[in-house]
Structure 1
Amino acid sequence: MAHPKRVGLYVWPTGQHEAEFERALWAEEQGYEDIWFPDGYGMQDALTLAAAVAARTKRARLCTGVVPVFTRPVPVLAKTIYAIEKIAPGRLVLGLGSSTGAMVDGWYGVEFKKPVTAVREAVELLRKIMAGEKTDYQGQVFRSKGFKLGEPIQPPVPILLAAMGPKMLQMVGEVADGVCLNNFTPLERMPWALEQLDIGAKRSGRRVDDLEISARLAMITSDDPASALEFFRSEVSFYASTPIYQQIITHMGFGQVARDVAEGFKVRDRKRILAAIPDELVAKLFIWGNEAECQRRVREFFAAGLTSAAIGPQSPNPAEFQRTCEAFVPSRFSVAA
């Protein structure tokens, strides 16, 4: 089953909550098909903002990108989904993921264990609850007994799962409705990622074409490429502080970079960290340029198999931030050019 190609706006957290709420409303008014809500950075809760926006919108899908499975008991997550579904029937798309040990264990004080198993179990348990079953579930990570929603959620909320590595991608293909990729699955890795998803999909009698392939594409629409490059070099350094992203960078052929960055973090030397990140790596991971260049890069992802783009404007410059938001409204952008 081929999924229609969709373009959504990722409501990037800036710390200005009223502006983020208004940006989400603006996105629907301008014709964006999806509104994506991140979860993290200590500034934004995806489901809370999705619920608020649900009450003020009529058409756009409301997509979380992504909620960690460790930070809410699955029955609590199910109740939240149920509440949003009552406000905006059929419009919620639940993006879930494991997050990282640094965030889950470090920030939230919750044990980060067996991430692939945890995500699988969360999906299994959540689907049972959405179907109206009373829980009697004992997994390796999650358990629940005796919980039941007031009524089933029908049709069930689509579940997309964040993934980068082969084990998680294959599991996503097997159990989920789709995948949430991010900038660390660059264009050159798309064929490999789709292959891993297809391996998993075959285990459940499906193919990769049955899945929604979504990706958050962080970008800056700008006439100042040098500033955009340095902004995104800093972004790479943030992600590269964690082992999972160091592994991804290594798999991309930048093993020495990953090792140098890890050493820089050990001695808390930010200049050393940034100096270790080459322009070539930054350019593979992030998108910047004028409007036409950014649009061209997004079309390349669609041509490579993407079905749902979450446009992620990023820039400390408000004018550049808004330029990116405006560059992908339907009157300015089409997948087919």
Structure 2
Amino acid sequence: MIEGLGRYGVSLAVGDDLEAHADVVERLGYSAIWVAGGQLQTLEPLLRILRATTRVAVVPGIIPLDVHRPAAIAELYAEAERIAPGRLVVGLGNQAGGMAALRSALDELDPAVPRERRLLAALGPRKLDLARDRSGGAVTLLVNPAYTTWARERLGGGATLVADQLVVLDEDADAARAAAREPLRFLTTVPGYAAAFSRMGFADAEIRDLSDGLVDAAVAWGGVDRVVARLREQEAAGADHVVIAPLGGPGEQKTLERLAAPLMS
């Protein structure tokens, strides 16, 4: 089980204003800041956030192991413990090499990055089992609450389950779905995500064509009340921590500001 994540985290874009945005997020009351792995050409943004904040957990979601080797991740964790003890949680995943490569990387990280301070990206049963056995928990993405319930059951009660939830704060269905489809056009071509959509009951044609039903399952969109209801559904389904990843709508910071009041109450 991962300690210190709290209930709601947010995903931030890396840019020159990263520190300023991180400070705003912390003041809004969110408990964790996440950075998507595709933005981590270096690991320095994670240290930038730690230096700019005093309370929030900082989590890469995820560090791709085919880009950053275990030795570099161990160095990152050691530096984070020096400047902000107990606030970095190491999210891990791999895009190449399969399960054997992932197990080997975990072996290399022991004991430099303790099991209880790391999470694995996991959607399928084998990776959820590995997350349970070799880390403090699992991170899912693009799943509906029913899938979260299944993942919770597979993971068991002793590990942390994180649901990374894409969000579009826009009540116009056409505009919201259009914003949602932008990242989904690529993500649905990734085998792991396509397999998860199949487990959710979507046919190959629905996945290929990005049907309205698939978009609605993967992305929370609508007004504040509707989006907050979806986030709380993920909690009720078994997620210990929910990450809000804004897309489209009024923009990253405005979305987080508008969602903060009802979520923190």
- TM-score exceeds 0.5: yes
Aligned-pair CA distance for 1:121: 2.4
Residue 19 of structure 2: aligned partner: 21
Matched residue type, 1:332: P
- Greater relative CO (CA pairs within 8 A, separation 6+): 2
Matching residue's letter, 1:333: L
1:160 to 92, 116, 119: 119
Q: Which residues in structure 2 correspond to 1:227-242 (within 5 Å)? A: 227-242=175-190
Alignment of 1:327 with 2:261, yes or no, is no
What whole-Å deviation, never above 9, does each CA across 1:264-295 have from its counterpart, x for those lacking one?
A: xxxxxxxxxxxx22101111111000001100
Query: What amino acid does structure 1 have at the position aligned with 2:263?
Result: F
Q: Does 2:208 match 1:278?
A: no
| Superposed counterparts of 1:55-70, under 5 Å | 55-70=51-66
Q: Deviations over 1:205-235 (max 9, x none)?
A: xxx2221111211101123221011121232
Partner residue of 1:204?
none
> How far did residue 5 of structure 1 move?
4.8
Flag the structure with larger Rg: 1
Q: Do the aligned partners of 1:182 and 1:216 also contact (CA within 8 Å) in 2?
A: yes
Q: Which of 35, 38, 56 is the equivalent residue of 1:37?
A: 35
Partner of residue 239 from structure 2, selected from 279, 299, 306:
306
Alignment gaps of 5+ in structure 2: none
Distance 1:225 1:320, change over 3 A: farther
Provide the rounded CA distance (Å) in 1 between the counterparts of 2:30 and 2:119: 19
Q: Percent identity?
A: 27
Please give the residue correspondences for 1:6-155 in structure 2 after superposition, counting only pairs within 5 Å: 6-13=7-14, 17-40=15-38, 43-45=39-41, 47-98=43-94, 100=95, 112-113=96-97, 115-130=98-113
Task: Give the whole-Å Cα distance in 2 for the aligned partners of 1:121 and 1:240.
Answer: 27
2:152 corresponds to which of 181, 194, 213: 194
One-letter identity of the residue aligned with 2:216: A
CA-based RMSD of the aligned residues comes to: 2.3
Shift of 1:23: 1.2
Whole-angstrom distance in 1 between the partners of 2:68 and 2:197: 30
Once residues 85 and 158 of structure 1 are traced to their aligned partners in structure 2, the CA distance between those partners, rounded to angstroms, is 11
Aligned residues of 1:32 and 1:60 also touching (Cα < 8 A): yes
* 8 Å CA contact 1:222, 1:320 repeated in 2: no
Amino acid at match of 1:321: E
Q: How do residues 196-235 of structure 1 correspond to structure 2 at under 5 angstroms? A: 196-197=154-155, 208-235=156-183
Contact 2:120 2:138 in 1 (8 A): yes
CA contact (8 A) 1:161 1:180 kept: yes
Aligned length: 264
Deviation at 1:85, TM superposition (A): 1.6
Partner letter of residue 71 of structure 1? V
Q: Could you say which residue in structure 1 is the equivalent of 2:194?
A: 246
Q: Deviations over 1:44-98 (max 9, x none)?
A: 4473111011112111111111001222221221112111221111110110011
Cα shift at 1:11: 0.6
TM-score in terms of structure 1 length:
0.72
Shift in CA distance, 58/82, structure 1 to aligned 2, threshold 3 Å? same
Give secondary structure in 1 for the equivalent of 2:182: helix
- Quick one: distance in 1 between partners of 2:2 and 2:201? 32
The 1-side partners of 2:168 and 2:26 are apart by: 21
Say whether the 8 Å CA contact 1:12–1:314 is kept in structure 2: no
Q: What secondary structure sits across from 2:262 in the alignment?
A: coil
Do the aligned residues in 1 keep the contact of 2:152 with 2:239 (CA within 8 Å)?
no
Instruction: Note closer, same or farther for the CA distance 1:59–1:306 as it changes in structure 2 (3 Å cut).
Output: same
Q: Distance in 1 between matches of 2:42 and 2:8?
A: 19
Q: Is the 8 A contact 2:7 2:31 kept in 1?
A: yes
Amino acid corresponding to residue 293 of structure 1 in structure 2? R
Q: 1:107 aligns to what?
A: none
Q: Report deviation, 1:164.
A: 0.7
